[in-house]
Amino acid sequence: MLGAWCKTRTESSKGTASVWGEAGRASLRWLIQRQGPGWTQDFKRHKKYGPVFTVYLGPWRRVVVLVGREAVQEALRGQAEAFSGRGLVATLNGTFDGVFFSNGERWRQLRKFTTLALRDLGMGKREGEELIQAEARCLVEALRRTKGWPFDPSLLLAQATSNIICSLVFRLRFPYDDEEFQALVRAASGIVVGVSSPWAQVRGWDPSLSKAPRQVCTVAAFATQQIQRHQRSLDTSGPARDIVDAFLLKMAKEKQDPNTEFTDKNLLMTVIYLLFAGTVTVSTTIRYTLLLLLKYPQVQERVQAELTRELGPGQAPSLGDRARLPYTDAVLHEAQRLLALVPMGVPRTLVKTTRFRGYTLPQGTEVFPLLGSILHDPEVFKQPEEFNPGRFLDADGKFKKHEAFLPFSLGKRVCLGEGLARTELFLLFTAILQPAVSGLFNIPPAFQLQFRPR
């Protein structure tokens, strides 16, 4: 592995010059650092070589790296169409080939369909909010049943968020003690661990060496079972009950079109992606936010005081309450910033040859927009390694938006579930924080907390 030929260099329009790192180790070290707090080194390279440089991941992959808010925004927003292609995540390539990893006309059609289907099912409307509030009540009741004993909240949190996406995709909600459902949630979480390890990143140097995590099979089997159930019960004359129904109806409508993108394979790939993303992203963020509150009890006390003052004891929060809860909203934003859930960003590719900051980047060039370099940029967020919700409050204590807050990326490939994720984060977090949280065991990635109703 270490003997693989690799080097890094920066290119200019006038030629090529060598840059940081020792051949054979620099790219490996860079990948490993992206799994932890390695942003300081990126900013040093940014200062020395500029915000655009090339990394060679073995002899097979050359990627262009974008560091800092200005470069990333100029590329993904300023030249959104050119940078709209999806790059390679070798361990997942071919698994999420539906709405997530596809390109061209397939991507455009599947993204438009999924966005409209979510909207038709109530996302962004009162029906979607009520769905999340109902799941929040189930989650809080499950937390109460722990009766103050320390426990790892990872599974329960992931089950709550998974139930929300299952309700939208399958019109099903599963009890938390359902063993098949638990297996699905654990598999989705296992995929995250599998693709995020340094070894998985190194295997990505050569796609032929990479294979999907074994947990993908569990998620795929679950998705296949539910799709088959829908095929047997589909009412072609009625409205769609959920996303699978909507996709099957679209397939029936376009079955005579030889170029249709609405196929059995694309349905399965899209469902697998929605299950995976809908299960792990929000639950991971909430889990990290709870951990921060355990570390900073004064922040927890202030959040709960604001909830009690503005909502009253026991009142279920709604999206309409967000404006009255500026500190709570600031805590959620600061937790997302500090976590930087997808620090390297999901790779992009150029759909056409593009001139960018004095460089000519050929069509097909792979681009890593480092979202973490924005969220942890010391020139944008002073002392970025510190947890400071005040960054998102103005002098009057009102919530203040920040243009560098980009955890969901931007441009044409911005996370299609951003609205759903934001709603889930706010409603689930505030529902949990109505009672008290205290007690810490086992530093991440695993920790335990005590849930004590007030």
Residue numbering of the annotated binding site for heme: 415
CB 375 within 8 A of CB 381: yes
Binding site, residues? Answer: 415
Task: Enumerate residues 6+ apart whose C-beta is below 8 A from 319.
Answer: 129, 423, 426, 427
3-state secondary structure the chain: CCCCCCCEEEEECCEEEECCCCCCCHHHHHHHHCCCCCHHHHHHHHHHHCCEEEEEECCCEEEEEECCHHHHHHHHHHCCCCCCEECCCCCCCCCCCCCCCCCHHHHHHHHHHHHHHHHHCCCCCHHHHHHHHHHHHHHHHHHHCCCCCCECCHHHHHHHHHHHHHHHHHCCCCCCCCHHHHHHHHHHHHHHHHHHCHHHHHHCCCHHHCCCCCHHHHHHHHHHHHHHHHHHHCCCCCCCCCHHHHHHHHHHHCCCCCCCCCCHHHHHHHHHHHHHHHHHHHHHHHHHHHHHHHHCHHHHHHHHHHHHHHHCCCCCCCHHHHHHCHHHHHHHHHHHHHHCCCCCCCCEECCCCEEECCEEECCCCEEEECHHHHHCCCCCCCCCCCCCHHHHECCCCCECCCCCCCCCCCHHHCCCCHHHHHHHHHHHHHHHHCCEEEEEECCCCCCEEEEECC
* Residues 26-42 as b or e (16 or more Cβ within 10 Å = b): bbbebbebbeeebbeeb
Torsion of CA 353, 355, 359, 364, to 10 degrees: -20
Q: How many CB atoms lie within 10 A of CB 202?
A: 21
Residue 260 phi/psi, 5° resolution? -60, 145
